[in-house]
Amino acid sequence: MLTGEIEKPWITEKNLYARLSYWITWAVAMIGVAGGALRCYFGWKDVPRVGNLCLIMEDNFETFDLENTWTREVDMGGFGNGDFEMTTDSSNNSFVKDGKLYIMPTLTSDVIGYNNIFNGYTYNVSGCTSTNLTSCGAVSNITTGSVINPVMSSRITTMKSHSIRYGKVEIVAKLPTGDWLWPALWMLPVNNTYGPWPASGEIDIMEARGNGPSYGAQGTNYVRASLNWGPFSWLNGVSKTYGWWTTRRSTYAEGFHTYAVEWTPHFIRMYVDTRLDHMLQLSFNEPFFTRGDFPTTILNDSQYIVTPNPWVNGTPNVAPFDQPFYLIMDVAVGGTSGWFPDGVGNKPWLDASDSAMHDFAEAQDTWYTTWPETAEDRAFIIDSVKMWQSC
């Protein structure tokens, strides 16, 4: 039996400081929650959006529509980058299988023989689409070092069918694997309103390299996006408008990802899978000529001239990206543009060398061993393409 006085703490006077600290703790927590919510809201509200969109093209590759949608570009000229591949109209290099488009690089030696790449053989590509006849054929000569392009690949475009001026493009694709492969999803202007490349601009939605993750200049675990623009080919502002995204636990060749561009008169954004993973997001908040910070004068032939502004009559802050652009999908190989930096990854050629393609072709036994045998791993596989126009 209990004796003595029983304590009843619930009827004693409350400790003022204990109560105050209790409510202050809750108040600070609630302020934090409210502040976080406001930050999320205004962050969401401030993300630029493309507005109303009208779907103008959708291809899920039940067939390969070469009449109404896609055009194969057939060319041996290197497309301004000194590429080592020729692009063909062959079903070996671009074909549809099981609802997917395959862009598949193959060896030229499988068609004409290895020795003919180097000596005494004339090759003219079938169905050449280039207006430059020198890009439609080549002659190999062991004395001069000229060679036949050692790789066959494909480049397909919507040049004759679909283009947009502001809107959105979305492509679901899986990257190829193989040293010195260069898969790309990109856009060029329909009319070159402001002059030859890069004055009229270029939109690179996604570019990558087929070299593995250990490659020192960003391999298959990186994807990149950029804008090309400038008064001349050697005066290009791309170094001010590029970016990338990376995956740390896998590569972009292990599965399908969505690559997209959203483009308005106010901004452009390129991303992979989600807007949060944007490779490049750029506001059109200053003229591109100002953004380029180009030199006031340049040497033109033997005299100095004032650096011309190609976009003086274009849309302020937007030109040259104020005109219709069409879509290109391709797999290039090698090249001398600097996309594969000299001295990285046992690169078997030098960009400045007159024998760059020859040196690459001679190293075929080395780089070809990194190319998977199956199309499912070697090819650039496109699952779907959608294009929307702002409306």
Active site residues: 202, 207
Quote the tokens at residue 391: 């409306």
10 Å CB burial of residue 196 (0-12, 13-18, 19+) is: exposed
The distance of Cα 305 from the centroid of its chain, to the nearest Å, equals: 34
CB neighbourhood size of 19 (10 A)? 10
3-state secondary structure the chain: CCCCCCCCHHHCCCCHHHHHHHHHHHHHHHHHHHHHHHHHHHHHHHCCCCCCEEEEEEECCCCCCCCCCCEECCECCCCCCCCCEEECCCCCCEEEECCEEEECCEECHHHHCCHHHCCCEEEECCCCCCCCHHHCEEEEECCCCECCCCEEECEEECCCCCEECCEEEEEEEECCCCCCEEEEEEEEECCCCCCCCCCCCEEEEEECCCCCCCCCCCCCCEEEEEEECCCECCECHHHHCEEEEECCCCCCCCCCEEEEEEECCCEEEEEECCHHHEEEEEECCCCHHHHHCCCCEEEECCEEEECCCCCCCCCCCCCCCCCCEEEEEEEEECCCCCCCCCCCCCCCCCCCCCCHHHHHHHCHHHHHHHCCCCHHHHCEEEEEEEEEEEC
d(CA 49, CA 207): 24
